[in-house]
């Protein structure tokens, strides 16, 4: 099954889920005014107050779920199947907290009967915004990253577990550091670094596939970011990059010709 568009895990989509889902939940119940929903929710201070309280609980659940998902989006590799399961789990978790609130409101109603009713209401109302948001992102607002799937570099550690997925054109260079490789890349205007437990040999084929070439025994460099090759006072060759915050990358004579032909 296809990987989900990266825009589903973006900050704007996070905000859309956190705000639109609770608003839709509130509006659906109060505007549609389903008899069986209102019959269950009309306890204590009334259906409107209870729906507002449940709306607040839903906001909390969405924040607790979606914020970590967005913050770790570079290391996630979710396909549509896993995303559907994640969304279903959000409905289940929300139903559990909603049932706790409703059981407290009713007093002697019981938690598990309340859980069944809350799940019915939650699934009946929240399925629509989940579906609409996913369709909007996947169809109406196609993701550029998905259109260029071959441009994504998928870094896995020495055990084969996927750790980082980034576009090949944002990678500056990769540096060996004992049992790790340090991946230097751009995220917006900021230079970032990610340490991966892997060897240079273990990622060499992946680097070659994406046009990131070895320039020294301990370095791979992305020719897209190399502006000039120059010798220092000691005769050592260095590749200067188009990012002012980045250090020059050493180039050995063995790889000089190959790199210079790509500039």
The DSSP 8-state label assigned to residue 252 in this structure reads -
Q: Could you report the per-residue pLDDT of 11-41, keeping only the tens digit for each? A: 888 888 999 999 999 999 989 888 999 999 9
Q: Say what the pTM is.
A: 0.57
| 110-118: average pLDDT | 93
| 168-184: average pLDDT | 94
Write out the E strands in the chain. 152-156, 162-167, 171-177, 180-187, 190-196, 213-216, 219-221, 226-231, 237-241, 249-251
Q: What is the pLDDT of residue 122?
A: 95
Q: Determine what percent of the chain is predicted with pLDDT higher than 70.
A: 92
Tokens standing for residue 206: 């992946």
Q: In whole numbers, what is the pLDDT of the chain averaged over residues?
A: 88
CA distance linking residue 77 with residue 134, whole number of Å: 17
User: For 149-262, which CATH class?
Assistant: mainly beta
Q: What is the pLDDT of residue 13?
A: 85
35 vs 48, 103, 108, 110, CA distance in Å? 14, 20, 22, 21
Q: What is the pLDDT of residue 149?
A: 62
The full 3-state SS of 222-234, as one line of letters, equals: CHHHEEEEEECCC
CA distance linking residue 66 with residue 87, whole number of Å: 10
Residues of the chain with CATH 2.40.50.1020: 149-262
Q: What is the pLDDT of residue 240?
A: 92
Q: Which is nearest to 17 in space by CA: 95, 133, 137, 128?
A: 133
Q: Could you report the per-residue pLDDT of 186-213, keeping only the tens digit for each? A: 988 889 999 999 999 999 999 999 999 9
């Amino acid at each position: 099954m296809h990987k989900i568009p990266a825009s589903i895990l973006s900050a704007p989509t996070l905000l859309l889920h956190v705000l639109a889902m609770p608003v839709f939940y509130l509006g659906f119940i109060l505007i549609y005014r389903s008899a069986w929903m209102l019959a269950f929710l009309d306890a204590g201070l009334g259906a409107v107050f209870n729906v507002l309280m449940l709306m607040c609980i839903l906001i909390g659940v969405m924040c607790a779920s979606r914020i970590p998902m967005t913050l770790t989006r570079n290391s996630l590799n979710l396909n549509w199947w896993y995303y559907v399961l994640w969304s279903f789990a959000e409905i289940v978790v929300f139903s559990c907290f909603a049932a706790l609130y409703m059981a407290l409101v009713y007093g002697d109603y019981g938690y598990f009967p309340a859980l069944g009713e809350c799940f019915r209401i939650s699934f009946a109302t929240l399925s629509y915004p989940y579906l609409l948001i996913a369709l909007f992102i996947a169809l109406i607002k196609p993701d550029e990253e998905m259109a260029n799937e071959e441009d994504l570099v998928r870094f896995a550690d020495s055990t084969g577990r996927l750790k980082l997925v980034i576009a090949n054109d944002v990678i500056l260079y990769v540096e060996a550091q004992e049992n790790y490789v340090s991946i230097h890349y751009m995220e917006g205007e900021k230079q970032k670094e990610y340490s991966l437990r892997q060897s240079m040999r273990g990622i060499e084929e992946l680097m070659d596939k994406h046009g990131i070439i070895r320039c020294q025994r301990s370095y791979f460099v992305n020719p897209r970011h190399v502006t000039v090759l120059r010798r220092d006072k000691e005769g050592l060759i260095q590749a200067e990059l188009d990012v002012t915050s980045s250090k020059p990358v050493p180039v050995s004579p063995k790889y000089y010709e190959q790199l210079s032909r790509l500039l």
